[in-house]
Chain A
Amino acid sequence: MAHDHDHNHEPPEDIVVRVKALENLMNKRGYLDQDGIDLIVDTYENKVGPRIGARMVAKAWLDTDYRNLVLTDANEAAKEVQISALQGDLIVVENTDKLHNVVVCTLCSCYPWNVLGLPPSWYKAMPYRSRVVREPRAVLAEFGLNVPESKEVRVWDSNSELRYMVLPQRPAGTEGMSEDELSDLVSRDSMIGVQVVKSPA
């Protein structure tokens, strides 16, 4: 296949061989078929995106009852908008004028996949995992987010049974916007907590 994107090195042939060999054995055993595997990949890559989380955020901004449900029982709240089963428990933490929340998994790469889709590469890599718990403000500044000293920063360390998502603050200038319009403003990174939702231009 053609490689027209930037990367440091071609994949070692060895790993391509291992993957293909394992696929073949799984097919031969009747454990998995190729169509099933393709369906899983397509679902996670193209269908379960951060739009599910963004929909929850927009609904929470518009509906106080739903917001309370999101903050007290995110699993129930997620059921109203999502298309696939939850993995473990979801807890949603709310940003306020006094508090900024950010999510990590220091031990591996636990992430609320079912509401945010596939995690970005940096979320799974050592620099972010190691450092955001030590110096969260400096890490957030690298993402272009300068949290004022007057605001507390809380870092939530996920695990396989408990995953966190941030409910960002609704930006100014969004009065009268519909749920669809609001949901379009909500970035994935704002629900991880490394960004805030920006006012519409």
Chain B
Amino acid sequence: MNGIHDCGGMEGFGPIEMEDENASKFKEDWERRVFGLHWGISMLGNWGLDDIRFSIERMGNGAYLSTPYYEHWLVANETLLVEHGNITAEEYEAEQERVRAELKSGGVF
């Protein structure tokens, strides 16, 4: 698929942001949790790496560029779980509402 992910040779992305070799690989805790969730879900074996990559490629160029790396992984899992019927978009939406309310009332993530 032709898209922004296929960036080899493109110009204009600016300088490389260096980091210390021992820097934490997760900038936020949610990234760490997406990582674990992603591997756990992948190990169920319902789909392969190509499905994961294709679901990220379908995000669209704007979304791909404006979201952090581990959000791409989250999008892949959301997309594939719904497409394979493991969860429904409605129950996922409802669960998000529940979690949002819980966080507002002082729940700890």
Contact = CB atoms under 8 A, between A and B. Distances in A.
Contact of A107 (B6, B30, B92): B6
Interface of A: 1, 5, 7, 11, 13, 15-26, 29, 31-32, 36-38, 40-41, 44-45, 104, 106-109, 117-122, 124-131, 133-134, 139, 142-143, 157, 160, 187-189
17 contacts: A7-B28, A17-B96, A17-B99, A17-B103, A18-B78, A25-B91, A26-B37, A29-B86, A31-B44, A32-B40, A45-B25, A106-B7, A126-B65, A127-B13, A130-B7, A134-B9, A188-B21
Contact of A29 (B8, B16, B87, B99): B87
A87 to B, nearest CB: 8
Tell me which of B39, B78, B86, B91 has the highest count of chain A C-beta atoms within 10 A of its own C-beta.
B39
A108 B32 CA distance: 19
A120 B24 CA distance: 9
A1 B29 contact: yes
Given A20-B99, A107-B5, 15 more contacts: A16-B103, A22-B78, A22-B92, A29-B86, A37-B33, A106-B6, A106-B9, A107-B6, A107-B8, A108-B53, A117-B25, A119-B25, A120-B25, A126-B10, A131-B13
Contact of A32 (B25, B29, B34, B41): B41
B74 interface: yes
A125 B36 contact: no
Contacts of A133: 8-9
Contact of B9 (A1, A32, A130): A130
B74 A41 contact: no
A125 B53 contact: no
Contacts of A142: 15-16, 18
